[in-house]
Every structure is written in C-alpha cells, then in structure tokens.
Structure 1
C-alpha cells in the first residue's frame, strides 16, 4: 500500500490542457507509426514500463503494469553514481485512441513534479508518442545542480522517444 506522500500538489496536471506555472515544462509529441497494431504495441509497452527500460533505466516497480497507486523507482546513472528516482502512478488513461499513465515524484526524488507517457491515435490512423512533464528541483542539493538536471531530463526524454519509436515500429 502506498504510504509516502507525493512531493507536489498539482496531481494529474500532465493530462490536462495546461500544466501548472512555476515549473519547468517538457512536452514532446512524436509520430511513431500508423495503425491499430502500432498503437496497441506502443500502449502496451508504456503500461509495462518498457519506455523506462528502453531509455536505459533500471526499473523497480511494485507491479509489472502501471496502475494508480503503483510505486516505481527508476535508477539512473550519473557517471559512477546510481541515482534512484521514486515515483507513484497517479493516473491511468485507457481509451480507444489514447492510453498511458502519469506518475508523480515521491520523497527521495531529486525533482518535484509529474511526468506522463501517452500513446495517441489520430483519426487518420497516425500514432503519436507523447511525453509531458513539469518539474522543479526538490532538495537544496538538486537546486545547485538544476542546470545538470535539465540537461539530464532532455537526454532521458530523447531516450524515451527512441524507445517509443522502437515499440511502435
């Protein structure tokens, strides 16, 4: 059962039309294929943490599939240092042409905020992979490293996009 509290208050905002002010925003929307098969493959990969694994992160999740209140810790490396980034799934989307989840930061994460991963299929059959996030540094030491954190976030987002392209391909 989830016991730690999320480290931000704007829960679910990555799935809305506007993300909250006072945070760094990331929004990437990339066409990764077309058709129902590509959409389903991408959606299933998102729900089974394959985006994170495909980005080179070590995944430690309380379940093998994203669901509300499932905790997941992704471990990344900064040089020789392993950095755990604990999160909790705060929302799941399961619609005919839109699927994925959003997770939010937990204590111990160097940032405060939320990130969403979505598969979307347009009326024309094009399949889009969407990453939306808002974040700001958490503890004092993260504030000192904010420029490095933004650079790392861009690198990881690029890796998420490549993983999404492979899944839908």
Structure 2
C-alpha cells in the first residue's frame, strides 16, 4: 500500500534556494525479507529515532500523513523539535516517510527516511533532507549545528541496522 502525494525521497520544493543544506546518505542496514520487515516496523513506529537517542512519547501514533511527532533530546528534553509527517510509502519492497519541521524546531525543511529491499537482497536505508537553520542560537553556531545533524544521520543509520538484525 502506498500513501504518498509525491515520490520519495523528497525533491527540492519551489522557492528553495541559497541557504538550504541538502543531505543524502545511504547505507546497507541488512539483507533479506526478515531484515526489511523488522527495519520497516521500527522505522514506521519511530524506533529509528528512539534508538538514535531521540525521545518520542510512546503515545505517538506511527508514521502516517498528518501525524505530528514531538521529539526531544538533551538533558531533560531541553531541545524540542516538532515535525508533521507529510508523505508515507509502504510497499512490499519500499517503506518510509517524509516529515516537515514545524515550530518549535531549530531548522526549517524536511527529512525523508526510506528503506528499500533491493533485488540483490540488500536492505538499504536512505536519509535525504533539505534544511536551513531557523533558530537563532543554531544559526550563530552553524558549523556545530551542522555537525550535530551529521551525527544524527549516522545514529539513525546505525539504529536502522540494529532494527534489521
């Protein structure tokens, strides 16, 4: 079943120009149907984020268009980021979602998480995003904020591999 208003991963939306930072990272996280099924369930149920160290309330519904997810990190959940799921794909060999940043969030933009079970039996997770720093302190510490983004993507990919085991 596919629930999507456009093709994943996210394309650049009209009007996005200078200052928008693109990211696209892909990694094999497992092999086989069972690895895909485990990673799919974890991805659509927010376990990728949770295993990466992001707190998401357990009452949050799984990824579906329109679902808003409150994420927090740091001591006492100091940094809060709110996102809304824009698109979901859930097919026999592809699964994932795109969410967009809402206020409060240190960034503007969107991020796509996509799993594919390829013909060579590899399960590949791809994370694609376009963002720009929206929060004053993040803009002031731009190199550090971008490093934190790269670390988060690495942790998401590692979480995908753990789920695929």
The equivalent of 2:63 in structure 1 is 66
Q: Tell me how far apart the structure 1 counterparts of residues 6 and 104 of structure 2 sit (CA, whole Å).
A: 20
The equivalent of 2:88 in structure 1 is 92
TM-score (norm. length: structure 1): 0.84
The equivalent of 1:42 in structure 2 is 39
Q: Tell me how far apart the structure 2 counterparts of residues 27 and 161 of structure 1 sit (CA, whole Å).
A: 12
Asked if the contact 2:10/2:128 (under 8 Å) is kept, the reply is: no
Q: How far off its partner does 1:62 sit?
A: 6.2
TM-score (norm. length: structure 2): 0.86
Aligned residues: 158
The equivalent of 1:149 in structure 2 is 145
The equivalent of 2:130 in structure 1 is 134
CA-based RMSD of the aligned residues comes to 2.2
The equivalent of 1:6 in structure 2 is none
Q: How far off its partner does 1:151 sit?
A: 0.9
Q: Tell me how far apart the structure 2 counterparts of residues 16 and 89 of structure 1 sit (CA, whole Å).
A: 12
Q: Which runs of 5+ in 1 are unaligned?
A: 1-10
Matched, 1:24 2:21: yes
Q: Tell me how far apart the structure 1 counterparts of residues 59 and 111 of structure 2 sit (CA, whole Å).
A: 18
The equivalent of 1:15 in structure 2 is 9
Q: Tell me how far apart the structure 2 counterparts of residues 112 and 80 of structure 1 sit (CA, whole Å).
A: 23
Q: Tell me how far apart the structure 1 counterparts of residues 93 and 153 of structure 2 sit (CA, whole Å).
A: 23
Decide whether aligned partners of structure 1 residues 14 and 76 sit closer, same or farther in structure 2, where only a CA change above 3 A counts. Answer: farther
